[in-house]
Structure formats: structure tokens, C-alpha cells
Amino acid sequence: MTGCVRFLRSLLCAAFFTAFGLGSLLFSAFLLLPVSRPLSRGVQHALFSLFVWLAKVTRLFVVEATPDDRARFKGFRGSVIVSNHISLIDFVILVSLLGDTVCVTKEAVGRNPFMRIIARKILVVNTGTEDVLRQSMQYLADGVNVLVFPEGTRTPATDAEHVFRRGAAHLALAAGAPVETLFIACDPPVLGKHQPWWDVGDRTIRYSFAYKGRIAASPAVPVDDYAAQRRQSRELTQQMRERVFAA
């Protein structure tokens, strides 16, 4: 019986990924129209919220967060948002929970045929530090949140180190922006690194999102003040990691 349930859930997962791919192509076509970026991000938010709602209805996965945390997430403005990164769809779920938000993503996403146009239009593709800083600082100045996964890649929850890179800290310091910290848990663990996409277990997946607090904005540090950037980014990165993984 368990094997049959796992097989049916794998088929359901395949249907969701197929729908996501087709939806991405249709959304890409929409983005080729002369529409504003705020409208484009609003449509993306609505589509991702629909994706999460359908997953709940079909019992593929559910998203859990306290009412207070959900209200906080919606209220973020012009903040650098950081969290751990455990699964392939962390970004999708987070965008559905947050207010107006863009995400810094790896360069490979910009080459993905399903995501290329979306990445170019409403994401920040990591093609180099200077470009990322320039684009992200403009978003923050406009009151848009910038989501960064400091681990840089999906890291299993069982990993003992969870190494954080300093890019999020450099951005927060250069922009003089506050940092909002979140923690993601997933039970059972699915869609992790080196984990088959079709292996989604034999029960409803539970994604939990918890707010871990704000790190207040520091006075902006000029991007060309390398000594100050290095020193403060090292300290801020450690502070972010401690917040995210605090018990």
C-alpha cells in the first residue's frame, strides 16, 4: 500500500512540475508585453500563491507559519531577507508568503529555457558582484525586498556547518538596509540537493517557516571601502547565521 501511495504522489509531483514549466512559459510570454515590473512581480506572486494553494488542496504539501509570522512576512519593505535553503521550491513558497520581493539567483537559472525571460525581467541573476549590488540596491531603494540564500545552494538540514557566504551582508551594508531572518524546515525532507525530484514520500509534506528576527540597518558602508566592508560583512554574516539557526 505504501509503495502505491508513493507512486501516486510521484505522479502528482510530476504533474505539478509540468504545470509549473508550462506556466513559466506562459508567464514569460506575458513578460514580453509592455508591462511594468511591479505588475509583473504582482502576477508572479499570484501565480506562486496559486501553486501553493493547489499543493495544499491536493495534499502534496502544506505551508505552516504562525499568523503573526505571516503578517510580518507580508509587512517587509526594502529589506534583505535571508534564510536557510533546503529544497528546490523554497523560493516559490517564500515569494507567495512575502510582500513585493525579488530573489538573487544563480546564473544557471538565467540559462534555463523555462526561466530565462523571468530571470531577466524580475529576478537578480548572479552574473557578478557589481551587477548584483547595483540591481539589488536599486530594488531596496524602491522599497522592494531582496531575498538571498547565503548558503548559495541547497544544504541538507542535517549538515553541521551551513556555511554562509558574505554576499547578503555586503548588500545590506552597501544599501544600509535591515536584514530579516527566517528558518525553513521540511518534513519529510524532499527536493533537496542530489535528491530525486519524484521522491516526495508517502504523506503530505509539511513546510514550516519561522521568523527569526530583524537585524537593524547599519549606516551604509561605501562599496569601495574594502577594509570596512570585509570587517563588517564578516561580523554581519556570522550574526545572520546565528539568527537563522537559533533554537
The domain tally of the chain equals 1
Lowest mean pLDDT among 30-39, 63-72, 151-160: 151-160
The total of other beta-carbon atoms located within 10 Å of residue 143's CB is 12
**Among 106, 108, 66, which residue's Cα sits nearest to residue 212?**
66
Cell numbers at 99, concatenated? 510582500
Asked if residue 1 has pLDDT above 60, the reply is: no
What residue spans of the chain are helical by DSSP H? Answer: 2-31, 37-58, 67-75, 90-97, 107-111, 116-122, 129-141, 167-175, 226-244
Supply the CATH number for residue 85's domain. Answer: 3.40.1130
Percent of the chain with pLDDT over 70: 99
For 29-65, what is each residue's pLDDT tens digit? 999 999 999 999 999 999 999 999 999 999 999 999 9
What is the pTM (predicted TM-score) of this model? 0.92
User: Per residue in 74-113, is it b (16+ CB within 10 Å) or e — as a string?
Assistant: eebebbbbbbbbbbebbbbbbbbbbbbbbbbbeeebbeee
Residue 146's domain comprises: 2-244
How far apart are alpha carbons 153 and 126 in whole angstroms?
A: 13
